[in-house]
A = this chain, B = another copy of it.
Amino acid sequence: MLQTLTALAEPTRLRIVEVLGRGPRSVGEICDRLAIEQPQASKHLRVLRESGLVVVETRAQLRVYSLRARPLRELNAWLQRYRSIWAERLDRLDELVVDLTREKERNHGRKTRK
């Protein structure tokens, strides 16, 4: 779970996952699509692979990556444990609380910034 979240909590990797959400892609296709260098793609794909989020399929010189079901399903399962919290009917109340809190902090907190 933590591993899955860690893998997803990076801009480039999140974008890779979103690209792969449309279907399997080779490393080159991912590089083109995201305008990143190839080594970066490979390294991020490595992290995604080690976290179990993707799998590789070697096809000639191509390495085709695709999303795996399990981690996403587990993430969903984890999230459902909190369904009682977020699946409520749209309560504006907690949004309001946030606004009030932010405003209060603005008033007295801020001292010197480095």
Contact = CB atoms under 8 A, between A and B. Distances in A.
A65 B35 CA distance: 41
| Interface residue SS majority, chain A | helix
A87 B73 contact: yes
A27 to B, nearest CB: 10
- Counting every copy of the chain, the complex holds 2
A87 B80 CA distance: 14
A9 B2 contact: yes
A24 B102 contact: yes
A62 B27 CA distance: 51
Given A29-B109, A79-B79, 20 more contacts: A2-B14, A5-B9, A5-B14, A8-B9, A9-B9, A21-B82, A21-B85, A24-B101, A32-B109, A49-B101, A52-B98, A55-B97, A57-B97, A57-B99, A62-B105, A64-B102, A67-B94, A69-B93, A73-B87, A75-B79
